[in-house]
DNA sequence: GATAAAGGATACCACAATAGTATCATTTAT
DNA sequence: ATAAATGATACTATTGTGGTATCCTTTATC
Protein backbone atom coordinates (compact mmCIF):
# COMPACT_ATOMS: atom_id res chain seq x y z
CA UNK A 1 0.00 0.00 0.00
CA UNK A 2 1.39 3.37 -0.93
CA UNK A 3 0.23 6.49 0.81
CA UNK A 4 2.09 8.73 -1.58
CA UNK A 5 1.91 7.75 -5.23
CA UNK A 6 4.16 8.97 -8.01
CA UNK A 7 1.81 11.83 -8.93
CA UNK A 8 1.73 13.11 -5.41
CA UNK A 9 5.46 12.65 -5.00
CA UNK A 10 6.28 14.59 -8.16
CA UNK A 11 3.71 17.24 -7.33
CA UNK A 12 5.37 17.69 -3.95
CA UNK A 13 8.80 18.05 -5.46
CA UNK A 14 7.61 20.50 -8.06
CA UNK A 15 5.71 22.57 -5.54
CA UNK A 16 8.68 22.72 -3.20
CA UNK A 17 10.89 23.84 -6.04
CA UNK A 18 8.43 26.47 -7.20
CA UNK A 19 7.84 27.64 -3.65
CA UNK A 20 11.54 28.29 -3.21
CA UNK A 21 11.42 30.72 -6.13
CA UNK A 22 9.36 33.16 -4.12
CA UNK A 23 6.74 34.02 -6.68
CA UNK A 24 8.93 33.96 -9.76
CA UNK A 25 7.29 32.16 -12.67
CA UNK A 26 8.81 28.77 -13.35
CA UNK A 27 8.42 26.93 -16.66
CA UNK A 28 8.40 23.22 -17.30
CA UNK A 29 11.81 23.05 -19.00
CA UNK A 30 13.50 24.35 -15.86
CA UNK A 31 11.60 21.91 -13.64
CA UNK A 32 12.50 19.00 -15.88
CA UNK A 33 16.14 20.00 -15.80
CA UNK A 34 16.25 20.36 -12.04
CA UNK A 35 13.96 17.56 -10.89
CA UNK A 36 14.58 14.93 -13.57
CA UNK A 37 10.90 14.16 -13.88
CA UNK A 38 9.62 12.85 -17.25
CA UNK A 39 8.42 15.91 -19.08
CA UNK A 40 4.98 14.84 -20.36
CA UNK A 41 4.10 13.34 -17.00
CA UNK A 42 5.17 16.47 -15.18
CA UNK A 43 3.12 18.60 -17.51
CA UNK A 44 0.05 16.52 -16.78
CA UNK A 45 0.65 16.85 -13.08
CA UNK A 46 1.15 20.60 -13.20
CA UNK A 47 -1.97 21.00 -15.31
CA UNK A 48 -4.04 19.26 -12.70
CA UNK A 49 -2.47 21.33 -9.94
CA UNK A 50 -3.54 24.36 -11.94
CA UNK A 51 -7.02 23.01 -12.47
CA UNK A 52 -7.36 22.49 -8.73
CA UNK A 53 -6.27 25.99 -7.87
CA UNK A 54 -2.89 25.13 -6.40
CA UNK A 55 -0.86 26.74 -9.17
CA UNK A 56 -1.39 29.81 -11.32
CA UNK A 57 -0.56 29.25 -14.98
CA UNK A 58 0.76 31.72 -17.53
CA UNK A 59 0.51 30.82 -21.16
CA UNK A 60 2.62 31.95 -24.03
CA UNK A 61 6.33 32.58 -24.38
CA UNK A 62 7.90 33.39 -21.02
CA UNK A 63 5.01 31.68 -19.33
CA UNK A 64 4.99 29.02 -16.65
CA UNK A 65 3.61 28.43 -13.19
CA UNK A 66 3.71 29.92 -9.75
CA UNK A 67 1.95 29.11 -6.52
CA UNK A 68 -1.65 30.24 -6.48
CA UNK A 69 -1.55 30.64 -2.70
CA UNK A 70 1.05 30.88 0.05
CA UNK A 71 3.15 27.75 0.63
CA UNK A 72 1.81 27.72 4.16
CA UNK A 73 -1.66 27.06 2.84
CA UNK A 74 -0.89 24.15 0.50
CA UNK A 75 -1.11 20.83 2.31
CA UNK A 76 -0.18 17.26 1.58
CA UNK A 77 -3.80 16.49 2.23
CA UNK A 78 -4.80 18.63 -0.76
CA UNK A 79 -2.51 16.66 -3.04
CA UNK A 80 -3.85 13.36 -1.80
CA UNK A 81 -7.32 14.65 -2.53
CA UNK A 82 -6.30 15.48 -6.09
CA UNK A 83 -4.40 12.32 -6.99
CA UNK A 84 -5.98 9.66 -4.84
CA UNK A 85 -9.36 11.11 -5.48
CA UNK A 86 -11.53 10.87 -2.42
CA UNK A 87 -9.45 8.15 -0.84
CA UNK A 88 -10.73 6.49 2.27
CA UNK A 89 -9.58 3.59 4.35
CA UNK A 90 -13.03 2.58 5.42
CA UNK A 91 -15.19 0.99 2.82
CA UNK A 92 -18.06 -1.03 4.16
CA UNK A 93 -15.88 -4.00 4.70
CA UNK A 94 -18.24 -6.83 5.32
CA UNK A 95 -21.09 -5.62 3.18
CA UNK A 96 -23.12 -5.84 6.35
CA UNK A 97 -22.79 -9.59 6.39
CA UNK A 98 -20.69 -10.08 9.45
CA UNK A 99 -21.12 -6.74 11.06
CA UNK A 100 -20.97 -7.53 14.76
CA UNK A 101 -23.92 -5.35 15.57
CA UNK A 102 -25.89 -3.69 12.85
CA UNK A 103 -25.81 -0.17 14.21
CA UNK A 104 -22.20 0.22 15.14
CA UNK A 105 -19.68 -1.95 13.34
CA UNK A 106 -16.71 -2.18 15.66
CA UNK A 107 -14.31 -2.53 12.78
CA UNK A 108 -15.67 0.42 10.87
CA UNK A 109 -15.46 2.57 13.97
CA UNK A 110 -11.85 1.68 14.50
CA UNK A 111 -10.85 2.20 10.90
CA UNK A 112 -12.69 5.51 10.91
CA UNK A 113 -10.70 6.58 13.90
CA UNK A 114 -7.46 5.74 12.12
CA UNK A 115 -8.61 7.55 9.01
CA UNK A 116 -9.47 10.68 10.94
CA UNK A 117 -6.04 10.72 12.51
CA UNK A 118 -4.27 10.25 9.19
CA UNK A 119 -6.30 12.97 7.51
CA UNK A 120 -5.66 15.36 10.36
CA UNK A 121 -1.94 14.78 10.20
CA UNK A 122 -1.86 15.13 6.41
CA UNK A 123 -3.70 18.41 6.65
CA UNK A 124 -0.95 19.75 8.88
CA UNK A 125 1.91 19.08 6.47
CA UNK A 126 2.32 22.20 4.34
CA UNK A 127 4.72 22.89 1.51
CA UNK A 128 6.16 25.65 3.66
CA UNK A 129 6.93 23.20 6.42
CA UNK A 130 8.88 21.02 4.00
CA UNK A 131 11.18 23.69 2.63
CA UNK A 132 11.47 25.48 5.97
CA UNK B 1 -5.61 3.79 -1.69
CA UNK B 2 -7.01 0.80 0.05
CA UNK B 3 -5.92 -0.14 3.53
CA UNK B 4 -7.81 -3.41 3.41
CA UNK B 5 -7.55 -5.36 0.17
CA UNK B 6 -9.80 -8.17 -0.97
CA UNK B 7 -7.55 -10.88 0.50
CA UNK B 8 -7.52 -9.24 3.88
CA UNK B 9 -11.23 -8.57 3.75
CA UNK B 10 -12.12 -12.17 2.92
CA UNK B 11 -9.62 -13.46 5.46
CA UNK B 12 -11.30 -11.33 8.10
CA UNK B 13 -14.74 -12.60 7.24
CA UNK B 14 -13.60 -16.20 7.22
CA UNK B 15 -11.74 -15.85 10.49
CA UNK B 16 -14.72 -14.24 12.18
CA UNK B 17 -16.97 -17.02 10.96
CA UNK B 18 -14.57 -19.72 12.08
CA UNK B 19 -14.01 -18.02 15.41
CA UNK B 20 -17.71 -18.09 16.12
CA UNK B 21 -17.66 -21.88 15.82
CA UNK B 22 -15.64 -22.17 19.03
CA UNK B 23 -13.04 -24.64 17.89
CA UNK B 24 -15.23 -26.77 15.66
CA UNK B 25 -13.57 -27.63 12.36
CA UNK B 26 -15.03 -25.70 9.44
CA UNK B 27 -14.59 -26.78 5.83
CA UNK B 28 -14.48 -24.65 2.70
CA UNK B 29 -17.90 -25.67 1.34
CA UNK B 30 -19.61 -24.29 4.43
CA UNK B 31 -17.63 -21.06 4.26
CA UNK B 32 -18.45 -20.64 0.59
CA UNK B 33 -22.12 -21.20 1.29
CA UNK B 34 -22.25 -18.77 4.17
CA UNK B 35 -19.87 -16.04 3.03
CA UNK B 36 -20.41 -16.13 -0.75
CA UNK B 37 -16.72 -15.85 -1.46
CA UNK B 38 -15.41 -17.35 -4.74
CA UNK B 39 -14.31 -20.82 -3.78
CA UNK B 40 -10.83 -21.09 -5.36
CA UNK B 41 -9.92 -17.64 -4.08
CA UNK B 42 -11.06 -18.50 -0.59
CA UNK B 43 -9.08 -21.71 -0.65
CA UNK B 44 -5.95 -19.81 -1.59
CA UNK B 45 -6.54 -17.38 1.23
CA UNK B 46 -7.14 -20.06 3.82
CA UNK B 47 -4.05 -21.90 2.70
CA UNK B 48 -1.92 -18.85 3.29
CA UNK B 49 -3.54 -18.30 6.67
CA UNK B 50 -2.55 -21.85 7.49
CA UNK B 51 0.98 -21.36 6.22
CA UNK B 52 1.32 -18.33 8.45
CA UNK B 53 0.14 -20.13 11.53
CA UNK B 54 -3.22 -18.41 11.87
CA UNK B 55 -5.29 -21.48 11.06
CA UNK B 56 -4.83 -25.18 11.76
CA UNK B 57 -5.68 -27.37 8.80
CA UNK B 58 -7.06 -30.90 8.75
CA UNK B 59 -6.83 -32.85 5.54
CA UNK B 60 -8.99 -35.67 4.32
CA UNK B 61 -12.69 -36.31 4.53
CA UNK B 62 -14.25 -34.45 7.41
CA UNK B 63 -11.30 -32.08 7.41
CA UNK B 64 -11.22 -28.31 7.34
CA UNK B 65 -9.84 -25.45 9.39
CA UNK B 66 -9.95 -24.04 12.87
CA UNK B 67 -8.15 -21.18 14.57
CA UNK B 68 -4.56 -22.02 15.44
CA UNK B 69 -4.67 -19.58 18.36
CA UNK B 70 -7.27 -17.73 20.41
CA UNK B 71 -9.31 -15.11 18.56
CA UNK B 72 -7.96 -12.59 21.03
CA UNK B 73 -4.48 -13.11 19.69
CA UNK B 74 -5.19 -12.74 15.97
CA UNK B 75 -4.91 -9.14 14.86
CA UNK B 76 -5.76 -7.16 11.77
CA UNK B 77 -2.11 -6.18 11.74
CA UNK B 78 -1.14 -9.83 11.21
CA UNK B 79 -3.38 -10.07 8.18
CA UNK B 80 -1.98 -6.90 6.70
CA UNK B 81 1.49 -8.36 7.20
CA UNK B 82 0.45 -11.48 5.29
CA UNK B 83 -1.35 -9.87 2.38
CA UNK B 84 0.27 -6.48 2.00
CA UNK B 85 3.63 -7.92 2.71
CA UNK B 86 5.80 -5.52 4.65
CA UNK B 87 3.75 -2.50 3.73
CA UNK B 88 5.00 0.91 4.71
CA UNK B 89 3.81 4.42 4.09
CA UNK B 90 7.24 5.95 4.13
CA UNK B 91 9.49 5.26 1.22
CA UNK B 92 12.30 7.72 0.75
CA UNK B 93 10.10 10.21 -0.96
CA UNK B 94 12.44 12.69 -2.51
CA UNK B 95 15.35 10.37 -3.11
CA UNK B 96 17.31 12.88 -1.07
CA UNK B 97 16.91 15.52 -3.71
CA UNK B 98 14.73 17.95 -1.90
CA UNK B 99 15.27 16.77 1.63
CA UNK B 100 15.02 19.94 3.69
CA UNK B 101 17.98 18.99 5.85
CA UNK B 102 20.00 15.94 5.11
CA UNK B 103 19.87 14.32 8.52
CA UNK B 104 16.23 14.65 9.41
CA UNK B 105 13.73 14.89 6.59
CA UNK B 106 10.73 16.70 7.99
CA UNK B 107 8.37 14.87 5.68
CA UNK B 108 9.74 11.45 6.46
CA UNK B 109 9.50 12.14 10.16
CA UNK B 110 5.87 13.11 9.85
CA UNK B 111 4.94 10.15 7.68
CA UNK B 112 6.76 7.84 10.07
CA UNK B 113 4.73 9.21 12.92
CA UNK B 114 1.52 8.49 11.03
CA UNK B 115 2.69 5.01 10.16
CA UNK B 116 3.52 4.19 13.75
CA UNK B 117 0.07 5.25 14.82
CA UNK B 118 -1.65 3.20 12.14
CA UNK B 119 0.37 0.10 12.93
CA UNK B 120 -0.31 0.46 16.61
CA UNK B 121 -4.03 0.74 16.03
CA UNK B 122 -4.08 -2.20 13.65
CA UNK B 123 -2.29 -4.34 16.19
CA UNK B 124 -5.06 -3.65 18.66
CA UNK B 125 -7.91 -4.90 16.46
CA UNK B 126 -8.36 -8.60 17.19
CA UNK B 127 -10.77 -11.07 15.68
CA UNK B 128 -12.27 -11.44 19.14
CA UNK B 129 -13.00 -7.72 19.29
CA UNK B 130 -14.91 -7.93 16.01
CA UNK B 131 -17.25 -10.73 16.93
CA UNK B 132 -17.58 -9.63 20.55
C1' DG C 1 2.14 39.80 -38.53
C1' DA C 2 5.25 35.65 -38.21
C1' DT C 3 7.45 32.91 -35.16
C1' DA C 4 8.73 30.40 -31.29
C1' DA C 5 7.94 29.35 -26.65
C1' DA C 6 5.09 28.43 -23.44
C1' DG C 7 0.63 25.88 -21.35
C1' DG C 8 -4.42 23.24 -22.36
C1' DA C 9 -6.81 19.17 -23.62
C1' DT C 10 -7.16 14.59 -24.58
C1' DA C 11 -6.37 10.08 -26.19
C1' DC C 12 -3.40 6.52 -25.97
C1' DC C 13 0.07 2.86 -24.25
C1' DA C 14 2.89 -0.15 -20.85
C1' DC C 15 3.55 -2.30 -16.75
C1' DA C 16 2.54 -3.97 -12.26
C1' DA C 17 -0.64 -5.26 -8.68
C1' DT C 18 -4.84 -7.09 -7.51
C1' DA C 19 -8.43 -10.39 -8.01
C1' DG C 20 -9.76 -14.66 -9.41
C1' DT C 21 -9.36 -19.64 -11.91
C1' DA C 22 -7.93 -24.21 -12.95
C1' DT C 23 -5.60 -28.47 -12.25
C1' DC C 24 -3.52 -32.08 -10.21
C1' DA C 25 -1.56 -34.24 -6.11
C1' DT C 26 -1.98 -35.78 -1.29
C1' DT C 27 -4.30 -37.07 2.87
C1' DT C 28 -7.88 -39.43 5.55
C1' DA C 29 -12.67 -40.99 7.35
C1' DT C 30 -15.78 -44.35 6.10
C1' DA D 1 -11.77 -48.43 -2.71
C1' DT D 2 -13.86 -44.18 -2.58
C1' DA D 3 -15.15 -39.72 -1.72
C1' DA D 4 -14.26 -35.61 0.70
C1' DA D 5 -11.33 -32.69 2.17
C1' DT D 6 -6.68 -29.63 1.89
C1' DG D 7 -1.71 -28.63 -0.52
C1' DA D 8 0.72 -26.80 -4.24
C1' DT D 9 1.20 -24.26 -8.14
C1' DA D 10 0.51 -22.30 -12.52
C1' DC D 11 -2.39 -19.62 -15.10
C1' DT D 12 -5.76 -15.65 -16.55
C1' DA D 13 -8.40 -11.40 -16.20
C1' DT D 14 -9.16 -6.80 -14.62
C1' DT D 15 -7.76 -2.61 -12.82
C1' DG D 16 -4.75 1.11 -11.37
C1' DT D 17 -0.55 3.39 -11.88
C1' DG D 18 2.88 5.50 -14.44
C1' DG D 19 4.04 7.42 -18.63
C1' DT D 20 3.61 9.09 -23.94
C1' DA D 21 2.08 11.41 -27.95
C1' DT D 22 -0.47 14.69 -30.52
C1' DC D 23 -2.68 18.57 -31.61
C1' DC D 24 -4.58 23.06 -30.11
C1' DT D 25 -4.44 27.78 -27.97
C1' DT D 26 -2.14 31.72 -26.03
C1' DT D 27 1.40 35.35 -25.95
C1' DA D 28 6.13 37.79 -25.91
C1' DT D 29 9.18 39.35 -29.11
C1' DC D 30 11.29 40.38 -33.36
S1 LIG E 1 -20.20 -4.41 7.77
FE2 LIG E 1 -20.31 -2.50 6.77
S3 LIG E 1 -18.81 -1.56 8.01
FE4 LIG E 1 -19.06 -3.32 9.28
S1 LIG F 1 14.32 12.83 0.93
FE2 LIG F 1 14.46 10.71 1.55
S3 LIG F 1 12.97 10.93 3.09
FE4 LIG F 1 13.20 13.03 2.75
User: What is d(CA B107, CA A13) in angstroms, rounded to the nearest whole number?
Assistant: 12
- Domain CATH for B70: 1.10.10.10
Residue B18 CA to ligand 1 center (angstroms) comes to 18
Q: How many residue contacts between A and B have a Cβ separation below 8 Å?
A: 98
Pocket of ligand 2 (CB under 6 A): B 92-94, 96, 99, 105, 107-108
**CB-proximal positions of chain C, under 7 Å:** 4-11, 18-23, 26-30
How far in angstroms lies nucleotide C24's C1' from the CA of residue B11?
Answer: 25
Q: Is residue A99 part of a domain?
A: yes
The number of folded domains in chain B is: 1
Q: Is residue B82 part of a domain?
A: yes
Q: Is residue B92 part of a domain?
A: yes
Q: Which atom of ligand 1 is nearest to the CA of A97?
A: 1
Q: Is residue A90 part of a domain?
A: yes
Q: Is residue B53 part of a domain?
A: yes
B83 close to B7: Cβ distance less than 8 angstroms: yes
Asked if the model's pLDDT at residue A61 lies above 70, the reply is yes
Q: Is residue A125 part of a domain?
A: yes
Query: pLDDT per residue over B9-27, tens digit each?
Result: 999 999 999 999 999 999 9
Q: Is residue B114 part of a domain?
A: yes
Residue B105 confidence (pLDDT): 75
DSSP string, B50-98: HHTTSEEEE-STT-EEEESS-GGG-BHHHHHHHHSTT--S---SSTTSS
Query: pLDDT per residue over A81-90, tens digit each?
Result: 999 876 777 6
Q: Is residue B13 part of a domain?
A: yes
Percentage of chain B exceeding pLDDT 90 = 70
- Return the number of other C-beta atoms located less than 10 Å from residue A109's C-beta: 10
Which pTM does this prediction carry? 0.90
Query: pLDDT per residue over B38-80, tens digit each?
Result: 999 999 999 999 999 999 999 999 999 999 999 999 999 999 9
Domain extent for B11: 6-131
Q: Is the CB of A40 under 7 A from strand D?
A: yes
**Nearest nt (C1') from B65 Cα:** D6
Comparing CA positions, the residue from A62, A72, A51, A71 lying closest to residue A26 is A62
Residue A91 confidence (pLDDT): 64
Nearest to B121 among A12, A100, A114 (CB): A114
User: What is d(CA A118, CA B111) in angstroms, rounded to the nearest whole number?
Assistant: 9
Amino acid sequence: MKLITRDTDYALRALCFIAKKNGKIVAVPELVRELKIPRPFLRKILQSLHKHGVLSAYKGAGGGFKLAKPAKRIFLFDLLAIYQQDWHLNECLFKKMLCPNVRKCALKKKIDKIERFVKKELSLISIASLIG
